Amino acid sequence: MQATIPIAASASQPPTLILPSPASHFSQRAQRLEQLAQGHALGDFLQFMAALARAQHAALQQLAPPGLPDAASLERARAHGMPPLAAQSLPRDAAWHSALHWMLDALAPTTNAASAALLAELRALPAERLEAMAARILDTDLSGPDARYYPLLAAALQVYWVKLVTSLPLPTYAPLDVHNICPACGCLPLGSVIGAHADVSGLRYAQCALCGTQWNVTRASCLACGAGEDRVGYHSIEGSKGPMQAESCDECHSYFKLLRRDQDASADLTADDLASLTLDMLLDDAGFARGGPNLLFVPGES
């Protein structure tokens, strides 16, 4: 289970923010991917992503405490309503390269020849090249000639950011005025979850694509532009009993995945997103553009 840590001190108030639990964040995702892979048209891909999530879990357990911003920077972020660990500007510790290399080692025995070649290429890349690609990923610019490397790099960056956000005391974080970026790292939400945790079954939380932090958002509102209930529509695959839906906006023509975890507590937003690419095709055909990045998936590069 995820740790529920309320920012508000009152027991009667729902938490405004839920941090990822280092013990289960990636292992739960791996379990769900294995479950979804059974009988799925993309079963091999989902099995590989399960192995990747297991490698992320192992790397996170090994990662040493990273360098953190000093008290003055944290106070400045708080005073200005900025995320304290802003992914686009925070200097990165080379620790994430170690996380990447551990993950490549862990994945090596499970891969086919094509993936093995990709892992070997990645292992040989110089640090500056890794940093340049990390900057693009953290800017959610997932296109370009290096895009085939991005999912594995993004997986290592996720490990590093989960470590970072869970290394600071909870009162460091405060809800932001804007609802469409992560209050911990400033990255975009992958989508949102209803029933993120057993204690908050009816509430909706946006979930960060990078660090997995979840923050409370109004139900039935567009995560991109904030348009209200009357502009929002819901879509699911006909005949599907799965917990994944898409929430589209007639105002800005974007859509985000919406996970009904209240209907299936084993579901995981990242895993269920990867297993519901048919829903993305449906929304694309209907003229909506995807609003929430899944950093582990670059279209055309699976």
Which residues contribute to the site for Zn ion (CB under 5 A)? 182, 184-185, 187, 208, 210-211, 213, 222, 224-225, 227, 249, 251-252
Rounded Cα–Cα distance for residues 131 and 44 (Å): 30
Q: Smallest distance, Å, CB 259 to Zn ion?
A: 17
A 10 A CB-CB count for 114 gives 7
Q: Which residues of 213-236 are buried (b: 16+ CB within 10 A; e: fewer)?
A: bbbbbeebbbbbebbeeebbeebb
Cβ atoms of residues 282 and 235 within 8 Å: yes
Enter the DSSP assignment of 78: H
Residues across the chain: 302
State the burial class of residue 39 (Cβ atoms within 10 Å of its Cβ: 0-12, 13-18, 19+).
exposed
User: Is 100 or 210 the residue whose CB approaches Zn ion more closely?
Assistant: 210
User: Is 122 or 211 the residue whose CB approaches Zn ion more closely?
Assistant: 211
User: Is 23 or 252 the residue whose CB approaches Zn ion more closely?
Assistant: 252
Q: Smallest distance, Å, CB 114 to Zn ion?
A: 32
Q: Smallest distance, Å, CB 39 to Zn ion?
A: 33
Q: Smallest distance, Å, CB 211 to Zn ion?
A: 3
Cβ atoms of residues 163 and 85 within 8 Å: no
Q: Smallest distance, Å, CB 100 to Zn ion?
A: 19
CA 219 to chain centre: 20
User: Is 53 or 184 the residue whose CB approaches Zn ion more closely?
Assistant: 184
User: Is 36 or 187 the residue whose CB approaches Zn ion more closely?
Assistant: 187
